[in-house]
A and B are shown apart, each in its own frame.
Chain A
Amino acid sequence: MTWLLLAEAGVPEGGLFDLDATLPLMAVQVVLLTFLLNALFFRPVGKVVEEREGFISTSRADAKQKLAEVEKLEADLAEQLKGARQAAQAVITEAEQEVDRLYREALAQAEAEANRSKEESRRAIETERESARTQLQGQVDQLSSTIINRLLAA
Chain B
Amino acid sequence: MALLPFPLPFAELEVGHHLYWQIGDLYLHGQVFLSSWILIGILLAFVLVGTRGMKRDPMGLQNLLEFLWNFIRDIARDNIGEKYYRDWLPFIGTLFLFIFVSNWGGALIPWKVIELPDGELGAPTADINTTVAMALLVSLAYFYAGLSRKGLRFFELYVEPTPIMLPFKIIEEFTKPLSLSFRLFGNILADELAVGVLVYLVPLIVPLPVMLLGLFTSAIQALIFATLTAFYIGEGLHEAH
Contact = CB atoms under 8 A, between A and B. Distances in A.
Interface in B5-24: 15-23
A39 B182 CA distance: 30
Nearest to B140: A27
Contacts, number: 150
B134 interface: yes
B56 A52 contact: yes
Contact of A40 (B26, B47, B89): B47
Interface residues of B, number: 60
Contacts of B27: 7, 11-12, 20-22
Residue among B22, B132, B136 with max Cβ neighbours from chain A (10 Å): B22
Nearest to B20: A7
A20 B19 contact: no
A84 to B, nearest CB: 46
Contact of A25 (B28, B34, B48, B54): B28
B207 interface: no
Nearest to B134: A30
Contacts of A19: 128-129, 132
Interface of A: 1-2, 4-8, 11-12, 14-27, 29-31, 33-38, 40-46, 48-49, 51-52, 55
The DSSP consensus for interface residues of chain A is helix
B98 interface: yes
Contacts of B18: 12, 14, 18
Interface in B46-82: 47-48, 51, 54-56, 58, 62, 65-66, 69-70, 72-73
B89 A6 contact: no
Given A30-B98, A46-B73, 9 more contacts: A4-B116, A12-B20, A20-B26, A26-B129, A29-B36, A29-B40, A37-B93, A40-B51, A48-B62
Given A20-B129, A22-B129, A42-B90, A48 B134 contact: no
A6 B22 contact: yes
Contact of A33 (B40, B58, B69, B130): B40
B18 to A, nearest CB: 5
Contacts of B40: 29, 33
A16 to B, nearest CB: 5
A119 to B, nearest CB: 98
B137 A31 contact: yes
B128 A18 contact: yes
Contacts of B69: 41-42, 45-46, 49
A37 B94 contact: yes
